[in-house]
Chain A
């Protein structure tokens, strides 16, 4: 059978085996991924005066609100770290995660028009979203480092860099993959059942309070602590803060849990996505 099929370049079949993801084909479309990244980035700032600066405004305002709310009003301890840096570290990481998650979960619905006309591996779209949001993350990280440098050199705040700072690339990849994995699971389900989409848009707002975006793990007790513990994103934020601010510590167990969770969700996501992408046009 295989020999007979070898001379055909395209084979269109009803159901594909669960594990037959065509990675070679995805690689062939790498140019498309890059062009889509470029498109997303350019389209964002075209006809704006501030351009990519807009990426910086959102985290600044959110940080201001959180500092006021959690640190000035509620007096949550930041373990001696300046509250602005503490909040900004969490917000920067979380914003990337939530953006990738929300955008990828919409893949099939927003691209139905293109998908209805042309074939290309559908996974190209979520991949490009993960990467183009990384540009945004880069700008926001840059902003964070500028403010970090200011506090480090011009104030006598208690900031310590630790070895975990070297894990930054791994942390960014982990954030991206985790959001991508969850995003494509949700996108596969929303192509048929839209309910999840609505759940997600407000769920994502609440979800950040189930991890250590605004409150450090060391300050959480009881139920809150176990909720934080179950959240796979907790280890990422904690490690990030530990590396650049020296607050908290590196939780080995949580970190391994986060890595395992990421890869399982990514694998499950790829399998479902691979199955759905073939016929979603009939149900979307």
Chain B
């Protein structure tokens, strides 16, 4: 049972930044010339860590660097990490879409990823023809498909349309048929990238359902990439945290998720003044963002139901020293990157004028904060005269701890959702 089915040894992947253009051919020639003389690839040395926010000087980055781990049969492994940490690159290597730059990956059995759903479907072909074609693309032989054909059709629920070109299908039917083929592929190792499935809710649900089935009922090996920490925790029994292309942590899902949040916090602990990853013309910049409690003291944790202040410190750059009618929005998000609400001065009809002072603090008071316990962060977006001045993600992270929102001493569990709502009950 505990056989190793995937062995990843010191795998690295380098990407070239910028456009493939006139510079490429000279690099190729140079690389070739080094190889002819038996020397190391000169550009491999140049690769930098893949930190998207700090603009490095090199043209090459390591999307993955020295990644090693093992997957045992029957394990359900979650892979988490910030955007750009290398999750999708890792999956691409595993599904053999592209080859690693260094290192070796060994696997036992067929690897199938649910991102393949519907690849190679031709709109002019009928459902029947597409099942065969798609099945063959995914690596099934014709007898195998024939054997499963009836089941696939039954599972997809498009039996009546099976001899109609798929271009006449509704999008739901199309997805169901495509998914049915992939579901009957019956691989030994299943890869699910939820991040890439974003946009189609039904599809996403099916992926998760299929995955649950495969790992819990059929004992299949599953690799699961997601930004949704709740599904990572419920669906996997081991998790790997990637950071800048390296394995940062391996352990239980719960530990890994904590580690991931620490990573995010580390990023936001940096003062805004030092960060360069903002958008906008920068004529107004924000140098600090924090949360204050009722007593107007800077805190990292607030209690549900407490009055809190979201504060940002601004600095006007350049020669202009006053701005009328500044528009500021703070988007509040959960750490899973789901938006909770947008705090926006215009929505309250408040005018913000930054007059005659180059520096200052803008505060937004929230009475009885209606957030359930958990980790949150807010973004800053600032606009004036319909020009974006400054916009930054994850300006400030904060935690909400259980508090007496309802005034009854009763608190909700942290899986009871994100918001708390003032409510009045009656019978009539």
B280 within 8 Å of A (CB atoms): no
B115 within 8 Å of A (CB atoms): yes
A2 within 8 Å of B (CB atoms): no
How many chain B residues touch A (CB < 8 A): the figure is 45
Compute how far the CA of A12 lies from the CA of B93 in the bound complex, rounded to whole angstroms.
8
A29 touches B119 (CB 8 A): no
A120 touches B139 (CB 8 A): yes
Stretch at the interface among B104-112, B383-391, B409-417: B104-112
Chain B's nearest CB lies how many Å from the CB of A195? 10
Stretch at the interface among A90-98, A110-118, A217-225: A110-118
B120 within 8 Å of A (CB atoms): yes
Instruction: Name the residue in B93, B111, B113, B124 with the highest tally of chain A Cβ atoms < 10 Å from its Cβ.
Output: B124
Q: Given known contacts A10-B107, A36-B133, A42-B129, is B119 in contact with A282 (CB within 8 Å)?
A: no
Q: Given known contacts A12-B96, A36-B133, is B107 in contact with A117 (CB within 8 Å)?
A: no
- Beta-carbon contacts under 8 Å, A251-284 to B: 278-279, 281-283
Chain A's nearest CB lies how many Å from the CB of B82? 22
- Beta-carbon contacts under 8 Å, A102-160 to B: 113-120
Compute how far the CA of A11 lies from the CA of B8 in the bound complex, rounded to whole angstroms.
10
A61 within 8 Å of B (CB atoms): no
Question: Which B residue sits closest to A8, measured CB to CB?
Answer: B106
B137 within 8 Å of A (CB atoms): yes
- Beta-carbon contacts under 8 Å, A195-223 to B: none
B1 within 8 Å of A (CB atoms): no
B136 touches A46 (CB 8 A): no
B99 touches A29 (CB 8 A): no
Compute how far the CA of A14 lies from the CA of B105 in the bound complex, rounded to whole angstroms.
9
Question: Which B residue sits closest to A47, measured CB to CB?
Answer: B124
B98 within 8 Å of A (CB atoms): yes
Residues of A within 8 A of B133 (CB): 35-36, 39
Residues of A within 8 A of B24 (CB): 192-193, 283
Residues of A within 8 A of B124 (CB): 42-43, 46-47
Compute how far the CA of A15 lies from the CA of B94 in the bound complex, rounded to whole angstroms.
15
Chain A's nearest CB lies how many Å from the CB of B34? 14
B97 touches A115 (CB 8 A): yes
B105 touches A12 (CB 8 A): yes
Residues of A within 8 A of B137 (CB): 32, 114, 118, 120
Please report the number of residue pairs spanning A and B whose Cβ atoms sit closer than 8 angstroms.
109
**Chain B 121-150 interface 0/1 with A at a Cβ cutoff of 8 Å (1 = within):** 010110001001100111101100000000
Q: Which of A7, A14, A31, A278 contacts B102 (CB 8 A)?
A: A14
Residues of B within 8 A of A39 (CB): 122, 125, 129, 133
Interface size class of A (residues with CB under 8 A): 35 or more
A9 touches B96 (CB 8 A): no
Residues of B within 8 A of A9 (CB): 107-110
Residues of A within 8 A of B108 (CB): 7-10
Chain A's nearest CB lies how many Å from the CB of B200? 15
Residues of B within 8 A of A29 (CB): 136, 139
Compute how far the CA of A32 lies from the CA of B132 in the bound complex, rounded to whole angstroms.
9
B402 within 8 Å of A (CB atoms): no
B16 within 8 Å of A (CB atoms): yes
Compute how far the CA of A36 lies from the CA of B136 in the bound complex, rounded to whole angstroms.
9
Chain B's nearest CB lies how many Å from the CB of A36? 7
Residues of A within 8 A of B92 (CB): 281
Chain A's nearest CB lies how many Å from the CB of B108? 5
Compute how far the CA of A251 lies from the CA of B137 in the bound complex, rounded to whole angstroms.
43
Chain A's nearest CB lies how many Å from the CB of B52? 17
B106 touches A10 (CB 8 A): yes
B165 within 8 Å of A (CB atoms): yes
A38 within 8 Å of B (CB atoms): yes
- Beta-carbon contacts under 8 Å, B65-105 to A: 92-105
Q: Given known contacts A5-B106, A8-B107, A39-B125, is B97 in contact with A119 (CB within 8 Å)?
A: yes
Question: Which A residue sits closest to B101, measured CB to CB?
Answer: A14
Compute how far the CA of A118 lies from the CA of B119 in the bound complex, rounded to whole angstroms.
8
B15 within 8 Å of A (CB atoms): yes
Instruction: Name the residue in A11, A13, A192, A282 with the highest tally of chain B Cβ atoms < 10 Å from its Cβ.
Output: A282
A14 touches B119 (CB 8 A): no
Compute how far the CA of A283 lies from the CA of B28 in the bound complex, rounded to whole angstroms.
12
A114 touches B102 (CB 8 A): no
B104 touches A13 (CB 8 A): yes
Residues of B within 8 A of A281 (CB): 92, 97-98
Q: Given known contacts A8-B107, A39-B129, is B139 in contact with A278 (CB within 8 Å)?
A: no
Residues of B within 8 A of A10 (CB): 96, 105-108, 111
Residues of B within 8 A of A119 (CB): 95-97
**Chain B 258-287 interface 0/1 with A at a Cβ cutoff of 8 Å (1 = within):** 000000000000000000000000000000
Compute how far the CA of A12 lies from the CA of B98 in the bound complex, rounded to whole angstroms.
9
Chain B's nearest CB lies how many Å from the CB of A271? 15
B320 within 8 Å of A (CB atoms): no
B20 within 8 Å of A (CB atoms): yes
**Chain A 1-32 interface 0/1 with B at a Cβ cutoff of 8 Å (1 = within):** 00001011111111100000000000011011
Instruction: Name the residue in A8, A36, A120 with the highest tally of chain B Cβ atoms < 10 Å from its Cβ.
Output: A8
Chain A's nearest CB lies how many Å from the CB of B145? 8
B116 within 8 Å of A (CB atoms): yes
Instruction: Name the residue in B7, B97, B104 with the highest tally of chain A Cβ atoms < 10 Å from its Cβ.
Output: B97
B25 within 8 Å of A (CB atoms): yes
- Beta-carbon contacts under 8 Å, B236-266 to A: none
Residues of A within 8 A of B110 (CB): 9
Question: Which B residue sits closest to A43, measured CB to CB?
Answer: B124
Residues of A within 8 A of B96 (CB): 10, 12, 119
Residues of A within 8 A of B93 (CB): 12
Q: Which of B20, B102, B105 contacts A192 (CB 8 A)?
A: B20
Extra pairs beyond A10-B106, A118-B116 (15, CB < 8 Å): A5-B106, A10-B108, A11-B107, A12-B94, A12-B99, A14-B102, A29-B139, A31-B141, A32-B136, A39-B122, A47-B124, A117-B95, A281-B92, A283-B16, A283-B24
Interface residues of A (CB under 8 A from B): 5, 7-15, 28-29, 31-32, 35-36, 38-39, 42-43, 46-47, 113-120, 192-193, 278-279, 281-283
Interface residues of B (CB under 8 A from A): 7, 15-16, 20, 24-25, 28, 92-111, 113, 115-116, 119-120, 122, 124-125, 129, 132-133, 136-139, 141-142, 165
Name 9 A/B residue pairs within 8 A (Cβ), A-sorted: A11-B104, A12-B94, A12-B105, A14-B101, A28-B141, A42-B125, A114-B120, A116-B97, A120-B137
Q: Which 3 A-B pairs have the closest CB atoms?
A: A119-B96, A278-B99, A12-B105
